Structure 1
Amino acid sequence: MRGRAVLLPGRAYAVSAPLLARAGEVLAADGWDVRPVHWDAPAPLPGSVAPAVAEGFVVRHLREATADLPPGRSGEVLVVAKSLGTRAASYAASRSWSAAWMTPLLTDPSCRAGIAANRAPQLLVGGAADPYWDRAVAAGLGRAATVEVLEVAGADHGLVLGDAGATAAALDRAGRTLAAFARRLQGAS
């Protein structure tokens, strides 16, 4: 086993949806122990609760997905999160866990701060037409040696483009980028 990859969904984007399903397939094929998380209650709506409440909701699920790791193995965690799931950024940073943030909430100060605080390798994947993606913030974070950025021109918050073929190509590109990122993590450990 390469390590544990925890898949955190978005508010209305399950781990079975295309982007996270592809991530799980890619990582499982490469030997990762993939743990998909399913929210056990309705996920908080943006703006309906304080950011700290939403973060606590997400972190509780991440803790549960990693609770059975023996001491000394917790450093072998890769967090793969979509949208709401990216609220785990500060928690991942506090544990020096690598992460792949799929359509991260870069317009949210707490998510940005969590990503910036993490010294472990990170991958940011977002669409240029996503209202939660901030190109300048992504570029700034990408200047860190440990942060890679994949921006898909014209893609929205679901990494969806105007037609099915273009969307499939974007999702495949995100999957290939994640696979390469995960292989580099393995080479670094």
Structure 2
Amino acid sequence: MPRPSQFVVPTRFDGAPDRVAVVVPGIGYSPARPLLHFARAVLLQHGWTVQELWWQVPDGFSQLPVDDRVAWVERQVTRAVDAEEGACGLLVGKSLGSLACGVAADRNIAAAWLTPILTNDHVARALRRAQAPTLVIGGSADKLWDPRIAESLRHDVLEVPSADHALELADDAAGSVDVLRQVVSRLDRFIGSLGGRARS
């Protein structure tokens, strides 16, 4: 008797083999959610290979010390970057994924951070020392966004007025779509500016 077919979520989308972008989710914001879904679409439009990370954080994760949470995220992202054997040229991360800012800084990998946790000292320090092209996008109504730190960064920064941690506007679905369009356009411009950049 044939086995029933199973739906499998693809995690890799092929483009140029020497230009791989790793997409890193948030704690509850998977690569299927709008910001990361359209980030993937933009990357594919520019010819990149996209490797998505799908993870399930450990039980009690939010109660762990900050250093332990950072270490866990860095392990997941480092494993994905190392698997690309030098082809990883870009990290695109949402929220919790920004705890891997240090990986991008240490390895000179370009990055686009969507709603990074700027209230976390590790993230702020890593963003300040990053030398590779970096895009930082957050909303002014996000409690994990620090406008003073954002303003101090020498990177490409977009702060969306009144947007929350999902880069959406409260009680304004149509306005939230407009914000998504703005974010996707900024990502498109940033990714286009990278050209054929692979990790050096």
Question: Shift of the alpha carbon at 1:78?
Answer: 0.6
Which residues in structure 2 correspond to 1:154-169 (within 5 Å)? 154-162=162-170, 163-169=172-178
1:7 match: 23
3-state SS of 1:67 partner: helix
Distance 1:132 1:182 in 2: 25
Question: Shift of the alpha carbon at 1:64?
Answer: 2.4
Which residues in structure 2 correspond to 1:76-115 (within 5 Å)? 76-115=88-127
Distance 2:101 2:69 in 1: 12
Distance 1:131 1:4 in 2: 32
1:55 match: 70
If you compute each CA radius of gyration, which structure gives the higher value, 1 or 2?
Answer: 2
Gaps of 5+ in 1: none
Identity of aligned residues (%): 35
Q: What TM-score do the two structures reach when normalised by structure 1?
A: 0.89
* Contact 1:11/1:44 (<8 A) preserved: no
1:151 match: 159
- What letter matches 1:35 in structure 2? Q
Q: Which runs of 4+ in 1 moved over 6 A?
A: none
Distance 2:83 2:119 in 1: 33
* Contact 1:86/1:101 (<8 A) preserved: yes
Rate the CA distance shift 1:172–1:45 in 2: closer, same or farther, 3 A. farther
Distance 2:84 2:93 in 1: 19
Distance 2:57 2:99 in 1: 16
Distance 2:124 2:162 in 1: 22
